[in-house]
Chains A and B, each alone.
Chain A
Amino acid sequence: MNPAELVAIPYTWVLALSAVLFAIGTVGVLLRRNGIAIFLSLEIMLNSANLAFAAFAFRFAAGHSTAAAALNGQIFIFFVIAVAAAEAAVGLALFIALYRLKETIDVDRVNILRW
């Protein structure tokens, strides 16, 4: 791709998309009752954070003579993806254990720690 064409996307658009996706994910985490659906909404939120990292890596690549800032942003995204993988594995294992115990993954019916 011709780098001159990349000017066409203002990085604030990417940031705005990140904000919209984060809000959608937050709504899902707050309103869904199915534990797995809450996890999926969490993945949306993690991805929107990745998009914000990408937007700023994109932005600061323009300001520096070296591309170290862009590289650091991408490495952060890489680590976020790795942490998301670990989180998904442990979280889904928790829900399987929960389902064995309670026969449900409805987070409203798992309330023995609540009172």
Chain B
Amino acid sequence: MVTYVFLAAAAVAVVFAVLTVVPRNPMTNVLSLVVMFFAMAAIFALLGMDFLAAIQIIVYSGAILVLFLFVIMLLNLRTVERFGSGRPFQALLGTLVAAMIGGLVLAVAAILVPERGGVIPGAAETGTALPIGRALVGSHLFVFEFISLLLVAAIVGAVYLTKRELR
């Protein structure tokens, strides 16, 4: 049963990842990415990572992609983008490089196949907000604070970059 759910979620993720990359309308791209992120959240939930599944939907689908939608609507692009920019050699090379990178990870996965997939001992205890929150303000406190610094820097940078008198 879990296997079928995983395969369905994986198929949805791959199909909508392709729909994020191929169509030329940016709106189609963003909305496909929303569906793909929901499939990713389903996979996280299947792996026993409840907290990350929630974060995936709230932060990624809810906040980041809304930012993308907002910018696309703000810019209101009229020009039709061409795919691959009419340089077939570079397009071929790019696809080959992507296939090689993907194939590399696939090969690693194939090498690792003999080991059995894991059972999570007490999956319910490691995937919820409680142990993750404890670890964030416990053993990972410095990184956690540094992330908040990074977010503040990003916000200040974004506000500065979009100031009208920037030249």
Contacts and interface: CB of A to CB of B under 8 A. Distances in A.
Interface of A: 1, 3-28, 30-34, 36-37, 39-41, 43-44, 47, 50-52, 54-55, 57-63, 65, 67, 70-72, 74-75, 77-79, 81-90, 92-97, 99-100, 104-106, 108
A18 B77 CA distance: 32
A52 B105 contact: yes
A70 to B, nearest CB: 5
Chain A interface, DSSP helix/strand/loop, else mixed: helix
Interface string B15-40: 00110110010100110010011001
B35 to A, nearest CB: 12
Interface of B: 1-3, 6, 10, 13-14, 17-18, 20-21, 24, 26, 29-30, 33, 36-37, 40, 43-44, 46-49, 51-52, 55-56, 59-60, 63-64, 67-68, 71-72, 74-75, 77, 79, 81-85, 90-91, 94-95, 97-99, 101-106, 108-110, 112-113, 115-127, 131-132, 135-136, 140, 143, 147, 150-151, 153-155, 157-159, 161-162, 164, 166
A31 B29 contact: no
Given A70-B120, A71-B132, A96 B52 contact: no
Contacts of A47: 36-37, 40, 60
Contacts of B109: 12-13, 15-16, 19
